[in-house]
Amino acid sequence: MAPLKLHVLDCGAMSCDLTWLLLKAGRTIRSRGERDRPVEWYPCTTHAVVIETPEGRLLWDTSCPRDWEKRWEPTGLQEFFPYDQVSETEYFDSRLHQIGLEIGDIDYVVASHLHFDHAGNLQLFKGSNARLICNDKEKAFAFGYDGLFNGAHLKADYEGLDFETVSGDTEILPGVTLIEAPGHTPGTMSMKVDLPQTGPMIFTSDAIYLGDSYGPPASPAAIVNDLAAWYSSVEKLRGIAESTNAKLIFGHDAAQLRSMKLAPAGYYE
């Protein structure tokens, strides 16, 4: 049985210096003729995905929290990634309600990785019936450091939650495959969804930030845990996308996200 419906939840955008996401000569890295040009700030869009399948409802990522400014304060990153391009209707919980769902309606919550702009609403699922799932290397890293945060991993987002883990590439539900794509973080995953009418879609999360990151050649970002692993994950995804004719949906590409069929108005099937 194939997935039936896929909803893309557009949860607004953070604002950030594009250099965080893209190290590219001529764009963020300047020639001497452009040394005085201001840095480019970018609408770093954030999305979640809900997939309806005959075997249950799966949520991919949870975007940023409403209380981002206070919650992110220990990291200092609220000054670099303010979640300030978001309206009441765009918050994650609002989007969920707009497609007629409550927290209790979700059976699986998969975290592509545990950065605060993807894991920001995981605590809403505490005590719910949803199974929480992440990659084993991501869990080991996220719970393995000392202190409250490490970069954009923030324990407040996921502390006290019970994660099941997957390792390698895993078909978690019929037609929904989690693809191990480390480099951005130790256990970043992408997700391939085989839809009967649309065909395969791959949600890359931060394994590939933007269309401009994908290339070829791939252009890395300032936020990469392991650069060699990041490059090889991009090429792994390129191989899967090319051999299956899948459409790639990048983690933070504003123009791409805004060109999609977005919930609640539209969905993919």
Q: Which residues bind Zn ion (CB under 5 A)?
A: 115, 206
The least distance separating Zn ion from the CB of residue 185, rounded to whole angstroms, comes to: 6
Nearest Cα to Cα of residue 205 among 48, 37, 34: 48
Sequence-distant (≥ 6) Cβ neighbours of residue 81 within 8 angstroms: 14, 15, 16, 20, 44, 72, 117, 152
Nearer Cβ to Zn ion (10/206):
206
Nearer Cβ to Zn ion (7/115):
115
The least distance separating Zn ion from the CB of residue 1, rounded to whole angstroms, comes to: 32
Nearer Cβ to Zn ion (64/195):
64
What backbone phi and psi angles, to 5 degrees, belong to 218?
Answer: -65, 140
Secondary structure (DSSP) of 117-166: TTSTTGGGGTTSSPEEEEEHHHHHHHTTSSSSEETTEEHHHHTT--EEEE
Tokens 């997939």 -> residue: 51
Nearest Cα to Cα of residue 116 among 75, 165, 60, 162: 75
The least distance separating Zn ion from the CB of residue 7, rounded to whole angstroms, comes to: 22
Nearer Cβ to Zn ion (53/188):
188
Nearer Cβ to Zn ion (53/62):
62
d(CA 219, CA 212): 7
SS3 call for 199: strand
The least distance separating Zn ion from the CB of residue 238, rounded to whole angstroms, comes to: 20
Secondary structure (DSSP) of 20-54: GT---BTTTBPPGGGTTSPPPEEEEEEEEEEEEET
The least distance separating Zn ion from the CB of residue 117, rounded to whole angstroms, comes to: 6
| Residue at shortest CB range from Zn ion | 115
Nearer Cβ to Zn ion (86/195):
86
The least distance separating Zn ion from the CB of residue 63, rounded to whole angstroms, comes to: 12
The least distance separating Zn ion from the CB of residue 152, rounded to whole angstroms, comes to: 6
Please name the helix (run of DSSP H) or strand (run of DSSP E) that holds residue 235, with its range, or none.
helix 227-244
The DSSP letter of residue 254 is H
What backbone phi and psi angles, to 5 degrees, belong to 260?
Answer: -90, 170
The least distance separating Zn ion from the CB of residue 265, rounded to whole angstroms, comes to: 27
Tokens 């999305």 -> residue: 47
Round the CA-based radius of gyration of the chain to a whole number and report it: 18
Nearer Cβ to Zn ion (206/253):
206
Nearer Cβ to Zn ion (206/212):
206
